[in-house]
Each structure stands twice: as structure tokens, then as C-alpha cells.
Amino acid sequence: WDEEEAQKTDTERWADKEAEFLLQEIAKDSSLDIFLKQDLQTKRSDPKYKEMLVGNTQHELVELINSHHVLVVSGETGCGKTTQVTQFILDDLIDRGVGSTCRVVCTQPRRISAISVAERVAAERAESVGNGNSCGYQIRLQSRLPRRQGSILYCTTGIILQWLRSDPLLSSISHLVLDEIHERNLQSDVLLVIVKELLTIRNDLKVILMSATLNAEKFSKYFGNCPMIHIPGLTFPVEEFLLEDILEMTRYRPRNQDRRSSWKRGFWQGRNCPPEKKEKEAEYRESWPCYARTLQGRYSDSTIEALEKLDNDDKIDLELILALIRHIVNKDEEGAILVFLPGWDNISTLHDLLMAQQMFRSNCFIIIPLHSLMPTVNQTQVFKKPPPGVRKIVIATNIAETSITIDDVVYVIDGGKIKETNFDTENNISTMAAEWVSLANAKQRKGRAGRVRPGKCFHLYNGLRASLLDAYQLPEIMRTPLEELCLQIKILKLGSIARFLQKSLDPPSEKAVNLAIKNLTDLNALDRSENLTALGIHLARLPVEPHIGKLILFGALLGCLDPILTIAASLSFKDPFFIPLVRQRENGRYEKKDPFCWDNFLSANTLQMLHNMKGQFAEHLLHAGFVSSKNPTDPKSNINSGNDKLIKAVIVAGLYPKVAKIRPCHSKKRPVKVYTHADGKVCIHPKSVNAEETEFNYHWLIYHLKMRTSSIFLYDCTEVSPFSLLFFGGDITIQKDGDQETIAVDEWIIFRSPARIAHLVKSLKKELDSLLEEKIRNPAPVDWQNRQSKDCAVITAIIDLITTQDNPTGGAGSYSQAGESAPRGQHLYFNGDDDDDDDD
């Protein structure tokens, strides 16, 4: 207990220090200026202090920053811009005797980047990171802050957006460096709009945009044709090979495939493929005969024939990659091989193919899969240079494009595909598919091969395909749901959502914006005038998407905080489970560290992050007034945490209307069928524990995510009772279906019920809605000790109903409460609810 209290005190001190740092005003301090100048002069005689760029580039860069409000700095990954530009700014101001007025903040798209870059810069400055020195970092739930003046802070983009809530003018920042903006993630695109408008008010703020070379001009144009400067790369030349070259050199010949059938099953003909993709695939198909003729004479007939056979849009030929790796090993010099594949299925299959070969099982090879599902202990091996005579082979997703750098890579095999999530506004569903890489992706992958010496990059697509690749991936703002972003726009008081988003570099579609606003209105987060409601304000302040935020609030109000925070953290971060390809103890490291985690395939690091997130959520709830302690396990906040049925009802409250209907199916292959209101028949994802379930107590599921891949899959689902849907779902109406009385949720989830019971449920639901609305407007913990209070009486009555509802005994099922006949039957009516018994 003493240790926990001490930790809480440390957390409070850390939060106070952080707030003090963020809100520090820029003020000149002459005595500090003298100290900083002397300290810099001392550093320059220290061998650890590095001047990585010398000559005109550094001087030109500093001159441009000093004479313009905005500057675009371009350069490929590895040129040193991330670590050096910030130091040039700080050192220039220190040299000019005004170092105390310098506060450089540099955004990074990923947590790992913010930490690793800060550590590297601190090392170059002969310091440790944070601890009041010149360089530090701040990410969610973790920081090592630098001194408040004359400093460099690396942080994630989300931290700046949080910062804007307390300091809309970013008045405590002298220089804002936005790094990796070419990645076009959602937060960085929003920040660009805010910064562009901020510059009209703050004419003293310096903004430096750092981008890959390919699209630097676009950012310059967005900021009124501001100046650009290019930092030359430090990489070695890389020789590139296309698919026809690879087939010619390896003499690989695919198994018999019918090229015509590959066109038929290509994704370009799929009903959900965007029109522009269909057009591009049609152009490719029409151009193929002409392109094939251009290959004649330069490549053998058997290579051209093999190229036609491999012309299949939906699969990567892993046997070809195996043949190419063998070719590199047998014909080329030493050096690590990095293979880019779109997802876990490809990575694990290629790993199995390699391990099936005797030569790759020898001590001459280290084969390392790199994926978020892999344990961290495996991933640390990626950075270690193997001993002489041992070749490292890394099989990775696009995480190895920018997030991490493997210094000893000489050979890159680019599988040519990348998994991309899109959002279908017509059907309100996310989709994920392996798409062709963009030219920007291909260039980044190629660049990984030339860091230590001249390298080679092998692209698994032909020259015609290369000519049709998009320049970049579609920006995230154009292919993702916008609800969470819309709430951020409102909490930051940035005006009309649609008008604000129209100012972005590539605005999302009007349909996507309107859908997000409608969903937030249905959630009661926005009113009809697009103002934040009381609920909307709370949801906007929580660092999660709106449905998860609502889940958290209801968990607090209904006294089951700890389990609900566990669920909320898990849904909003990442899966704590990993998949070890080889069941081994990794030299005993896991055994000594945490045998429980290893035995249960759990990542200790991810579990720690989930634990920290729960603490952060609880602190938000305490500050808002919903709970009386920031401890997620506080007994007062967990009086109902042992009630599984209530916990499921709270999940309904948060995730509704994400509801699916279960129907029995007389098939050994698939014992149940699942339907949603909008899509008809769907599937439970194989990863779910419910995927193989044959018997359910109820006929309803609530789910977190619906995504279309090969089919429409539901992720993270749980069965829920009718009373959960009635009390925590949508609007209730009482109807008559012939002679049968029914009660319906949002007019489509329909139950048979006697009229008296239906009216009783509707009245109780109205009382609950009124109570919850009042609690949201005026947050206060429920006084569970005072059973006579109205709020406690209403909530307790509903909890009792949900808890004592009997499980169905089959068929329509029956439920009883206090001797009364409750809703009977579970009949669902909606469009597209086909009743076929096929197994497709």
C-alpha cells in the first residue's frame, strides 16, 4: 500500500512538472544565455559532440529559418534531418546569445521514434536524455523532459493537439518542427491546418516542415510557396530489379496458372473496389499485350511466359521469394536480407518455407519475422549485427519502411503489396486489403538497402505495373472514419467541422464528413446545431474514439470501473497476445522476466501499457467528477464489478448500435449464422473465441469492429441479453404485429412482449435515460450506500432485472422477473436478412 501511495505521489509530481513545462512562457534570461553559450563551447571540445553536417548546408538552413516563417526541409530517410535540424536551431540561438528564448518542439508520428531520436540527439550533445538537459521527449503516459528554456522536445503529434487545449496559440514554443509529414497521417494533416491559421496570429513562430523528397513541393505550395531546402542523403547507390529481371536471373517458373482466370478473380472486378482502382486495372489489362511485345528480345520466351503466369493481382508468390533468397545467398556477397510482405499470413508462410529447407535451418542463418504480433524479445534481435559468416534474414511488414532502421541490410525484396485500411462511406464499413505499393513506398523500401554499402532492391512487380503505381498512398484523412477527429475540432473550438476540414491539404469527401456528424449526433455527442453536448465534451476529452469513451463513462456510472477500463484500454490500443513462430525460451530471457506472460503468449510491455492507460482513464474520470479516486480498483467504483451480465450491458451502452443477430444453422461446417442490420450475413472473425462457438445463451451479439476483407468480419464480440439491448440500446417503441404485442429497439430489434411489461420497460428506460443525462451534465459518483436515493433505486432496479434474467432454454426462450413474464422470443426483421442454408 505504501509503495502504491508513493507511486501516486510521483505520478502527481510528474503531471505537475509536465503542466509547468508546457505552459512556460518564452522569456529572455541574460544569465542563462551566458551559461548556455559557455556550455556549448565546452561541448564542442567533447569528442561525443558531433557536427554531422558542415559547410553551406547548415548555414543556409539557419539563414532560411531566421528569415522566413515557414521552411520545407526535404531529404530521404537517413540523411540526418530529424536529429540535426533541431540542434542547428538551438545552437544558432545560443551562439547569438539568445538561447533562453529557444524552445524547439519536434513532432514524430510514432512513440518509438520520439524516444529513439531524443536519445540519439542527447548522446550527440554529450548528455543524457531529459533530466533538465537540452533534449527530452514526451509521449502518451511517458516523458523525460528537458530544461524549460534553451531546449529541444521530441513528442508525438497527439501531444501537440492536447497542448493546444491549454495553450491555443502554442505561445510557449519558439520553433515548431513537423517531421515525417509526407506520411500524411490523420493528426499531422489536422495540425497543418491549425498551424497555417496560427501563423496569421503568431508572426514570431517559426515552422519547419520535414518531408521526403517526393512531395516537398506540395507542402511548400500549401504554405504560400514557402522556401525549400534539400539535405543530401548519406546512403550508397542501390541497384533495382523488376519482376522480369528476377525471373530471368533465378530461372524460376511458377506452377501452372491460367492467366485468364487470374483476371477474373482479380480484385479490380470486385463490387467494393473503388472506381479509380477499376480504371487502373482495366488500363493495365489493355496495355499488357503491347508491354509483353517490348520484352521480346531482351528476355527469354520462358521468362515472358512465366511473367504472364504470375500476373495475378491478389497473391504474392512466396515460392518465388524463396528462390530469390537462395539466389542471393548463393551468388551475392554477405549482407542482411530484408523482405517486405503485407501481413502476418505471408510472413508466417514464408518463414515455414524457409525452415523447411535444410540450408536455412543451419547456424549460418538467423531468420527474424518482424510484426506487431511477435514478442518484443524477438524484435530486438533485428538490430544486432550477426557474427561473420552468418546471414540475417528479416521478414517484415511496412513497419521496417520508416519506423525502424536495420543498419546492416544490403538486399531488399519488395513484395510489392501493402495492407491498407479504407472506409466505405456508402456502406459505413471499414475495409482492409493488400494493395499495390505507391512509388513513395517503393522508394522508402529501396532506401533500406544502401545504408552500409551499395545494395540491391528486388521489386516483385513488372515494368508495366511500376508505371501505373500511385505516387503516394491515399492520405489517412481520406480513408478513415472521422468521428474522433470531429470531436477534436469542436473541443479545440475550431468552428464548423466541414469548413475546417475543407482547409486541409486533401479534404475528405463531403459524404464522410456528414456521416461522422450524423453518427456523433446519434450518439448524443453533438446536438442538431453541431455543438458539443455535455456527453460530447466528456468524450472529446477522453483520448479514445467516442464509443470507447462512452463505454468508460458508463463503467464509472454503473460501478464496474476496473473491468470496463481493461476492456476499453484493450480495444483502443493493441492486442496483448503475440504469436511465437518457434516455441522457445529465447535464451531464458522470458523465463527470468515473466514466465506467466510467456506461458500465456502475452506481451509484458503491452500489458504494462494497458495498465498505464487504465490509470490515465481513471484520472480523467476523477477530474471530471465521475469517480472519487483515480485508482481503477477503488472499491467504491467497483461495487458491481463481479456482475458479468451488467458488464455486458455496459458494453452495449458503449458500443450500440453495433449489434448482430445469431441464427442456428443446420451445418457441421458452420453451426450458426450471423447477420447485421446493414449488411445481412457476416462472419465472426476466426481470431475470436466466438468463431467456433456452437451454443449461445442469447441470440444477440454486440461487437467493436466490422471490417471487410475476404468477407465482412466482426471483431471483438460478445453475446448480450434482450434486457441489455432494451435498457442500453436505442429508442423503445411498443407495436402490434397482428395479434402479437411487441417491443422494439430502434424499430428493428423486435421482441414479443405483453403490453403491460412493454410499458413497464419503456417507463424504466425513460427514467434511466433521464438519470444518466443528469449524471453526464453534473458528474458525481453514485452513492451506492443510499438505496433510497432515486439514482440508486433506478439503477439498482435495472441491474436486478439484467442480472436475474434467466438464460433461454432454447428456441424463443423465456425470461422472468418478479413473477412477471418478460420479453419473449427474439425475432429480428430487416432488409437483406436472407434465410438460406448455404455454406458460402
Q: Is pLDDT of 319 > 90?
A: yes
* Distance in angstroms (rounded) separating the CA atoms of residues 408 and 396: 15
Among 140-154, 186-200, 264-278, name the one with the lowest average pLDDT: 264-278
Give the C-alpha separation, 791 to 772, whole Å: 9
H-state helical runs in 671-814: 722-728, 755-777, 790-804
Contacts of 777 (CB under 8 A, 6+ apart): 534
Mean of all residue pLDDT scores within the chain: 84
So what's the pLDDT on residue 400?
65
Torsion angle in degrees (nearest 10) through CA of 523, 524, 526, 528 = 110
Phi and psi of 421, rounded to 5°?
A: -95, 135
Q: What pLDDT, on the 0 to 100 scale, is given for residue 58?
A: 83
Residues 339, 342, 343, 348, CA torsion sign:
negative
- Classify residue 175 as left (phi > 0), alpha (psi -120 to 50) or beta: beta
Q: Assess whether 327 and 195 both reside in one domain.
A: no
Q: Where are the alpha helices (DSSP H) in 542-581?
A: 546-557, 561-572
Same domain, 226 and 249: no
* Contacts (Cβ under 8 Å, ≥6 apart) of 83: 52, 117, 120, 121, 124
Query: 721 and 761: one domain?
Result: yes
Q: Beta partners for 210?
A: 73
List residues bridging with 71 in a β-sheet.
Answer: 208
One-letter identity of residue 188: S
Find the domain containing 134 and state its range.
23-230
Give the helix ranges, DSSP H, for 266-365. 275-295, 301-309, 318-331, 344-355
pLDDT tens by residue, 710-754: 889 998 999 998 889 988 888 888 887 777 788 888 888 888 888
Measured between alpha carbons, how far is 436 from 445 in angstroms, rounded to an integer?
Answer: 13
For 176-185, 427-436, 783-792, which range has the lowest pLDDT when averaged over its residues?
783-792
Residue 809 has pLDDT above 70, yes or no: no
> What per-residue confidence (pLDDT) applies to 38?
92
Q: Mark whether 211 and 283 lie in a shared domain.
A: no
Residue positions counted in the chain:
840
716 and 729 inside one domain: yes
CA atoms within 13 A on the CB side of 263: 10
* Strand bridging mode 455-459 / 238-241: parallel
743 inside domain: yes
Nine-digit cell string for 90: 538551438
Q: Which residues are registered as beta bridge partners of 339?
A: 395, 413
Q: How many domains does the chain have?
A: 4
- pLDDT 10s digits, 741-799: 888 888 888 888 888 888 888 888 888 888 888 889 899 888 888 777 777 888 888 88
Other CB atoms within 10 Å distance of the CB of residue 168: 14
Digit-coded pLDDT (tens) for 487-518? 999 999 999 999 999 999 999 999 999 999 99
Note the pLDDT of residue 837: 40
78-94 confidence digits (pLDDT tens): 677 888 899 999 999 99
Same domain, yes or no, for 385 and 456? yes
Region 569-581: what's the mean pLDDT?
81
How far does Cα 314 stand from its chain's mean position?
A: 24
In a domain, residue 61? The reply is yes
Rounded to whole angstroms, the Cα distance separating 788 from 737 reads: 39
Q: DSSP of 632-685, one letter per residue?
A: TT-GGG-TTTT-HHHHHHHHHHHHTT-EEEEEE---SS-SEEEEETTTEEEEE-
Q: What percent of the chain has pLDDT over 90?
A: 48
Q: Spell out the long-range contacts of 54-60 with Cβ–Cβ below 8 A and sequence spacing 24 or more.
A: 57/229, 57/231, 57/232, 58/84, 58/88, 60/229
Q: Residue 650 above 90 pLDDT?
A: yes
| Grid cell digits, residue 837 | 442454408
Q: Which of 101, 117, 119 is CA-nearest to residue 109?
A: 117
Residue range 524-564, pLDDT digits in tens: 899 999 999 999 999 999 989 999 999 999 999 999 999 99
Alpha helices in 709-754 (DSSP H): 722-728
Tell me: do 258 and 323 sit in the same domain.
yes
Q: Specify the residue for cell string 439503477.
A: 795
The distance in angstroms from the start CA to the end CA of the chain is: 57
100 and 216 inside one domain: yes
pLDDT tier at 375 (50, 70, 90 boundaries)? low
How many CB atoms are located within 10 Å of the residue 297 CB? 7
Give per-residue pLDDT as tens, 250-303. 999 987 655 444 444 444 444 456 677 788 888 988 999 999 999 999 999 999
For residue 12, being part of any structural domain is answered with no
Q: How far apart are CA 417 and CA 354, in angstroms?
A: 20
pLDDT surpassing 50 at residue 1: no
Q: Are residues 666 and 524 in the same domain?
A: no
Q: Please state the rounded mean pLDDT for residues 17-45.
A: 82
Number of separate helices (H) and strands (E) present in the chain: 31, 27
Give the rounded percent of residues in the chain with a pLDDT score beyond 70: 85
Annotate 221-257 with DSSP letters as a single string: HHTTS--EEEPPP-PPPEEEE-HHHHHHHH---PPP-
Phi-psi group of 703: left, alpha or beta (phi > 0 → left; psi -120 to 50 → alpha; rest → beta):
beta
Say if CB 243 and CB 459 are below 8 A apart. Answer: yes
Measured from the Cβ of residue 593, the count of other Cβ atoms closer than 10 Å reads 12
CA 775, distance to chain mean position in Å, is 32
Instruction: Write out pLDDT tens, residues 452-477.
Output: 889 999 999 999 999 999 988 889 99
What whole-number distance in Å separates Cα of residue 610 and Cα of residue 573?
7
Backbone dihedral angles phi then psi of residue 184, each to the nearest 5 degrees = 55, 45
pLDDT band at 68 (very low <50, low <70, confident <90, very high): very high
CATH of the domain at 106: 3.40.50.300
Q: Is residue 108 part of a domain?
A: yes
Which of 63-72, 90-99, 229-238, 245-254 is least confident?
A: 229-238
Q: Which helix (H) or strand (E) holds 27?
A: none
Per 3-state DSSP, the chain is made up of helix, strand and coil in percentages (nearest 5) of 45, 20, 40
User: Which residue bears the cell 451506492?
Assistant: 784
Q: Same structural domain for residues 751 and 698?
A: yes
What pTM does this model have? 0.83
Regarding whether 259 and 209 lie in a shared domain, the answer is no
Which residues are paired to 211 by β-bridges?
74
Q: Is residue 554 part of a domain?
A: no
43 grid coordinates: 561541448
28 occurs within a structural domain:
yes
Burial tier of 649 (Cβ tally within 10 Å: 0-12, 13-18, 19+) = buried
Phi and psi at residue 368, in whole multiples of 5°?
-125, 110
What pLDDT is recorded for position 833?
A: 38
Domain end residue (candidates: 491, 518, 537): 537
Domain boundary among 513, 537, 561: 537
DSSP-derived letter for residue 583 is: -
DSSP 805: P
Q: Is residue 566 part of a domain?
A: no
Q: Is residue 305 part of a domain?
A: yes
SS3 string, 678-698, reads: CCEEEEECCCCCCCCCCCCCC
CA distance 780 to 773: 12
Report residue 4's pLDDT band, with 50, 70 and 90 as the boundaries: very low
Rg value, the chain, Cα: 29
Of 230, 259, 280, at which residue does a domain stop?
A: 230
User: Which residue reads 493537439 in cell numbers?
Assistant: 161
- Give yes or no for a contact between 391 and 603, defined as CB atoms under 8 angstroms apart: no
Same domain, 206 and 121: yes
Q: Which residues contact 786 (CB under 8 A, 6 or more apart)?
A: 792
Left, alpha or beta for 301 (phi > 0: left; psi -120 to 50: alpha)? alpha
Question: Can you tell me the distance from the alpha carbon of 288 to that of 493, in angstroms, rounded to the nearest whole number?
Answer: 53
